[in-house]
Amino acid sequence: MTKSTIWHPFTQHALEAPMRRIVRTDGAHLVDEDGRAVLDAISSWWVVTHGHRHPKIMRAIQTAIDTHDQVIFAEFTHEQAETLASGLIELAPEGLKHVFYSDSGSTAVEAALKMALGFYYNQGRPRHRICVLEHSYHGDTIGTMSVGERGVFNLAYTPLLFEVERIPFPQPGAEQDSLDALEKICREGDVAAVLVEPLVLGAGGMRVYSSRVLSEMKRIAENSDTLVIADEVMTGWGRTGPLFACDAAGVRPDILCTSKGLTGGALALAATLCKAEVFDAHYSSDRKKTFFHSSSYTANPIACAAAVGNIQVWQSEPVEDRIANLTSSHRKSLARFANDDRFENVRQIGTIAAMDLKVSGDGYLAAVGPSLRRFFRARDLLIRPLGKVIYLMPPYCVTSDELDRAYDAIDEAAALVAAGKL
C-alpha cells in the first residue's frame, strides 16, 4: 500500500481502505467521484445541522466574500462579528453577556478554562482545580485532553497532561453517587470550574443523563461559588431537541462553549460565551488582568457571516418542526430494537439515537468497530460506531425513508455479528 501524503484524523493508515473522494455535498448526502451518494448519518462528525450547503448559509458566505477576508480582531471589529454576538446572546441561556471568538471546539474549551482561572486569579483568590465527568470528551489539544477521559487516545501524552477531579458518570439509578462526589470535591474548595457536556457525553459513547442531574450539578457548584462551564460544542443547535441542552434543564451556565453547529457546519468557528462577572474580572486599568488569548483566525468575517446565516435559518424556517419529526422518526425506528437481545442500552435524546451491540471487547478499539464501518461504507452509509456503540446523528433534513435505510442496515449488521460473520 502506498503511504498517504495526507495524514488523516483518527486514521490508522496502515489498516485503512483508500479515502473516498467526495466531489460534492448535498443535503443529507456526500457524493463521491463515482457519483454514489453516501447518506451522512453522523452529520460529518456532528457539524452539519440543517443539511449540507444550506442555501441561506451559502448565500451569506457569498455575500461576505464580496467585502471581507480575515481582519485582525484586536483594535478592529466588523459587522459580521457584531451581528453574530448579539444574536448569540439573544439565543443562548439567560445571563451570558459576552462572546469570545475562536475557531474550534477545542479552542472554545481552552478559552473557557482560561476564563475560569482568570476569573479567580484576577480577584486575588486563585483557584486551580477543575472537575469533570467520567467519560468526558472536550477536544484533542493538550489542555482539552487533560480534562477529557484518559485512555488509549492519550497514553503517549499522559506525562504532559494536568490532573483534574473526576466524578462518576451519573448512570440512571446511581445519580446520587455522582452528585455526592461533586458535593465533596466542591466542599474541599479550590475548584475553579465544573466542566460538563450537558445531558449527553458524545465521544465518550453517547451516554445520556437526566436534566435533573445537570441542574443539581449547577446548584452544587453555585453553593461553593464555583463556575459551571457547559461544553455545548456537540449538543448545541438543536441536537438534543432544544437549541441548547442547558435549556432543557433550565440551567444557566456561567460559561458556554459552542462550535460545530454554529455555522450550520459550513465553516470553522467557535464562540465562548460568559456571564458579566467573568468579563468584569478581566476588566481593569491594570493591564496584567487582560485576557491573554487569541487565535489567528479569531472571528473570521466569512465564518461569522455563515453563523449569522445559520441564525437566520433558525429564525425563518421550521427548524423545530424538523427536529420534532426527526425525533419521532428515531423513536419509531428504535422501538424495534428495544427488546432485541443483540443490543443493550437502546437510547435517544432528541435527534441522537444510540445503542450498544452486545459483543465482547470494550472501548473504542472494540474489534467489531472497523468491520461495522466497512459494512456501512459498502452500503453508502456514513456511520462510524464508537467501538460497539452504534449511533445515528443525521442532519435535520434527512427523510424518514433515508433514516429507515440506516436502521435496516444496522439490523442487518447486527444479524451478521450475531452469526459470527462480521
Query: Which positions lie near ligand PLP, rule CB under 6 A?
Result: 104-106, 109, 137-139, 197, 202-203, 231, 233-234, 259
Q: Between helices 211-223 and 175-188, what is the axis angle to 10°?
A: 20
Give residue number: closest CB to ligand PLP.
105
Is 202 or 253 the residue whose CB approaches ligand PLP more closely? Answer: 202
- DSSP for residue 364: T
- What are the strands, taking DSSP E only, across 64-111? 96-102
**Residue of 279, 322, 350, 257 whose CA lies nearest to 98:** 279
Is 257 or 383 the residue whose CB approaches ligand PLP more closely? Answer: 257
Radius of gyration of the chain (CA): 21
DSSP run (H or E) holding 227: strand 227-231
CB of 74 to ligand PLP, least distance (A): 23
Is 208 or 409 the residue whose CB approaches ligand PLP more closely? Answer: 208
Task: Tell me whether strands 389-392 and 352-357 are parallel, antiparallel or unpaired.
Answer: antiparallel
Which cell numbers in the block locate residue 213?
A: 442531574
As a 3-state breakdown, the chain gives helix, strand, coil percent values, each rounded to 5, of 40, 20, 45
Known binding residues for pyridoxal 5'-phosphate: 105-106, 231, 295-296
CB of 183 to ligand PLP, least distance (A): 24
CB of 256 to ligand PLP, least distance (A): 12
CB of 9 to ligand PLP, least distance (A): 9
Is 87 or 105 the residue whose CB approaches ligand PLP more closely? Answer: 105
CA distance 255 to 236: 14
Is 113 or 278 the residue whose CB approaches ligand PLP more closely? Answer: 113
Is 197 or 247 the residue whose CB approaches ligand PLP more closely? Answer: 197
CB of 166 to ligand PLP, least distance (A): 16
CB of 280 to ligand PLP, least distance (A): 26
- DSSP for residue 92: S
**Residue of 116, 47, 75, 59 whose CA lies nearest to 274:** 116
Query: For residues 275 and 96, is the Cβ–Cβ distance under 8 A?
Result: yes
Known binding residues for substrate: 45, 137, 260, 294, 384
Instruction: Look up residue 131 and give its amino acid.
Output: C
Is 106 or 122 the residue whose CB approaches ligand PLP more closely? Answer: 106
Q: Is 293 exposed, middle or buried (0-12, 13-18, 19+ CB in 10 A)?
A: middle
Task: Provide the b/e sequence for 232-256 (b: ≥16 CB within 10 Å).
Answer: bbbbbbbbbbbbbbbbbbebbbbbb
Query: For residues 363 and 151, is the Cβ–Cβ distance under 8 A?
Result: yes
Is 207 or 275 the residue whose CB approaches ligand PLP more closely? Answer: 207
**Residue of 44, 57, 43, 52 whose CA lies nearest to 313:** 57
CA 219, 225, 226: angle at the middle one, nearest 5? 80
CB of 163 to ligand PLP, least distance (A): 20
Is 24 strand, coil or helix? strand
CB of 326 to ligand PLP, least distance (A): 19
